[in-house]
Amino acid sequence: MKVSKIKGTLDYFGRDVKKYRYIENVARSISKQFGYLEIVTPIFEATEVFARGVGEGTDIVNKEMYTFLDRSEKSLTLRPEGTAGVSRAYVENKMYVDPGLKKLFYFGQMFRCERPQAGRYRAFTQFGIEALGPGSAYLDADVIYFGYLFLQKLGIKNVKVAINTIGSKSGRAKYEEALKEYFSEHIDEMCNDCKTRLEKNPLRILDCKVDAKSDIMKNAPKIIDYLSEEDIAYFDKVLKCLDKLGVEYVIEQKLVRGLDYYNHTVFEFIYDDKNSNIDGLTLLGGGRYNGLSRQFDGPETDAIGFGTGVERLMLVLDELGLFKDDEKLVDVVVINIGEETKLEALSLAAFLRSNNVSCEIDYVSSNLKPQFKLSERVNAPYIIIIGSEEVENGVFKLKNTILKTEEMRKIEELNEIFNIEGEKYAYKK
């Protein structure tokens, strides 16, 4: 029976897995620069972590979660995102007891049952950061700057930074009331999903892709008219900080983000290249989510963070030719001439490997052609060639594939050539 991978999932190997790990390494190193420490939370959680955390009225919770009953009939869900689990862990492990901010990052797989397409998968990887603790406009700007610098470090420059504020909870509640009133009058002309959204969560109507360009949407109430002076002053301060940090942004009043926990500053980094078929793809999204900790019975805590889709970043690296794979896989390939020296070749390889020199041999063939093919495949800078004559005379042929030189060397010189300290290698005749 042929078994294939599940639609919307990916296998990584060869060059792709290197690209994936390259992004991970950049993510880890920038996290260190900004003082974020790693957190690993379970890949599945009790369903209510996401239902309460992400919000009952969101597409993620309503349509996209992989939810199942375990053997004791408890409802579990594969995490669709990182923030809810991190907030749950923050409260459960009483991280709030430590004074100041908890700055955490994660890099791991998430699961959403979405319709697969370029840049949208059912199992995908997010690199995310969360800063939980006393909030400030300076921190908001610093988190956005983190995302900006991360993409810059990957070489991704053509990105639009869209930013908005959805105000404090009370401002947002007033706005939701206004939206409800407004859309109630037009709901017959809107899509079925919007009809449900009107009941459950009117803010989500603004995310609707179907009705996005309609006049009804264009004339909808604007959040700015429902915000308090403090909310506006806070947002202005974030923008001022971004100006100072040199981050160019566009204020997008309709940007409300698809998850319920947000308040105040929200942002998205969007790939911006009109000639590309991934133009408009959101590479990174985040915002402030003060008070999410209350959903897990923790103390009221301010928080902000973002998540970025690693597979989307891989697509962009490919598109812009930003990932170069010239890594050599091994330092040396040991080639033997004739079957009688295969064991000596294996022993020499074992010596090199045990002394931290990466090494490859052909386990099957003693013909020269396949052995040279192997050294090409692994891009080895050195090739050692031994036959019974070399073993007899205590020498080996050393080829340098970069300088294109070859010479006979004494077997005692092996240590010096590969910087090996300690006991020398000797042929066992």
- Give the footprint of ligand HAM on this chain (CB under 6 A): 81-83, 112, 114, 119-121, 124, 126, 128, 130, 259, 282-287, 289, 305-309, 311-312
Cβ nearer to ligand HAM, comparing 82 with 135: 82
Least Å distance between CB 103 and ligand HAM?
12
Helix (H), strand (E) at residue 149? helix 137-154
Sign (positive/negative) of CA torsion 240, 244, 250, 252?
A: negative
Q: For residue 369, give the 3-state DSSP assignment.
A: helix
* Beta-carbon contacts of residue 90 (< 8 Å; ≥ 6 apart): 96, 102, 104, 132, 293, 298, 301
Sign (positive/negative) of CA torsion 112, 208, 200, 293?
A: positive
Cβ nearer to ligand HAM, comparing 126 with 336: 126
Cβ nearer to ligand HAM, comparing 128 with 135: 128
Least Å distance between CB 218 and ligand HAM?
24
Name which of 427, 428, 416, 429 is nearest 355 in CA terms: 416
Cβ nearer to ligand HAM, comparing 87 with 375: 87
Name which of 109, 105, 112 is nearest 128 in CA terms: 105
Helix (H), strand (E) at residue 372? helix 368-377
Alpha helices in 58-136 (DSSP H): 59, 83-92
Least Å distance between CB 386 and ligand HAM?
50
CA angle 375, 376, 382 (to 5 degrees): 50
The two tokens of residue 92 are 């459960």
Cβ nearer to ligand HAM, comparing 286 with 387: 286
Backbone phi and psi for residue 258, each to the nearest 5 degrees, phi listed first: -90, 10
- The whole-angstrom separation of Cα 144 and Cα 247 is 8
Cβ nearer to ligand HAM, comparing 86 with 385: 86
293-to-80, 90, 95, 362, 413 alpha-carbon distances in Å: 18, 8, 11, 57, 64
Least Å distance between CB 109 and ligand HAM?
10
Cβ nearer to ligand HAM, comparing 130 with 344: 130
Most distant pair of Cα atoms in the chain: their distance: 95
Cβ nearer to ligand HAM, comparing 314 with 332: 314
Least Å distance between CB 321 and ligand HAM?
21
Cβ nearer to ligand HAM, comparing 284 with 374: 284
For residues 80 and 54, the answer to whether their CB atoms sit within 8 Å is: yes
Least Å distance between CB 286 and ligand HAM?
4
Least Å distance between CB 411 and ligand HAM?
54
Least Å distance between CB 419 and ligand HAM?
44
Least Å distance between CB 420 and ligand HAM?
46
Name which of 224, 215, 151, 213 is nearest 185 in CA terms: 215
- The whole-angstrom separation of Cα 155 and Cα 152 is 5
Cβ nearer to ligand HAM, comparing 124 with 235: 124
Alpha helices in 299-358 (DSSP H): 310-320, 342-354
Least Å distance between CB 56 and ligand HAM?
16
Cβ nearer to ligand HAM, comparing 128 with 167: 128
The two tokens of residue 288 are 């402030």
Least Å distance between CB 281 and ligand HAM?
8
